[in-house]
Amino acid sequence: MAGFILNAQKMWDEVLINADPRVEDWFMMSSFVPSLVICVLYVIIVLLGPSLMANRKPLDIKNVLLVYNLGMVALSTYIFMEFLLSGWATGYSLHCQPVDYSNSKAAMRMASACWWFYISKFIELFDTIFFIMRKKFRQVSFLHVFHHGIMPFSWWFGVKFVPGGFGTFHALLNSFIHLMMYTYYGLAALGPQYQKYLWWKKYMTKMQLTQFILCLIHASQLLYMDCNYPTLFAYWIALYAGIFLVLFANFYHQSYISHKSKPQSNGAVQNGVKEKSN
């Protein structure tokens, strides 16, 4: 057992040789353990939460939700703009785009945008906690939990090794989707009188599906293109996009095609989950 641990440590040390030294001292970046622990705790809360709330009344946290969603709109907008201004609107290629590991202003700005995107994925775990506090257990679906639970940990590796370049295309799209989603979700939390502004519920899921299709097409380029970008990360992005394309397509089919004859409640869409307004 000791030998196995030593060999694993040796292999990990060899992997770390390729880590980006610029982010070594950034918050949460020296080790993947804190990210892993938080994601595991998140799953534990999801499993235990319904039992803990079973004999309690749903919590009225409307004001908390309003502040939270407004904050997430602001953060998602900031991250989206930073991805644009540090690369995707200032010269990044949609084809081969290596990571700039220099200390130039643009390169550091892109690395910072990646780090903020990574941090935002931890904040988004509160989506699920708020569902549980309000006893909206049906909203805590496999799709919802899987999406939230895997993103923070997987993005630690993105920031640690490739904070920029080709792989940030999906983060650019995702940050835009989230600023739209939290805008929608915030309006839904205001109450029934705002339902007239929520006519675009169905289109949020379509936007999410489009996001995954674009990510698949973009990532697949490295299957036949020579590019100074680690193909392992491109494969991971393609796999991730493919899995969620299937899951979100199934959600769309269940919600808007197979059940289209049933009355649909006006509510927000949270990572493929419809949330009834309060």
Catalytic residue among 95, 144, 147, 218: 147
Q: Which residues contact 251 (CB under 8 A, 6 or more apart)?
A: 143, 205, 272, 273
Is residue 147 among the annotated active site residues?
Answer: yes
> Tokens at residue 267, please?
């509510």
Neighbours of 87 (CB within 10 A): 23
The answer to whether residues 278 and 212 touch, using CB atoms and an 8 Å cutoff, is: no
Gap between the Cα atoms of 197 and 201, Å rounded: 10
Q: What's the burial of 145, exposed, middle or buried (CB within 10 Å: 0-12/13-18/19+)? A: middle
Which residues does 260 contact at the CB level (< 8 Å), separation at least 6?
A: none
Tell which residue, 256, 156, 245, 129, has the closest CA to residue 202. Answer: 256
Amino acid at 255: S
Query: Cα–Cα distance between 8 and 17 in angstroms, integer?
Result: 15
Which residues carry out catalysis?
147
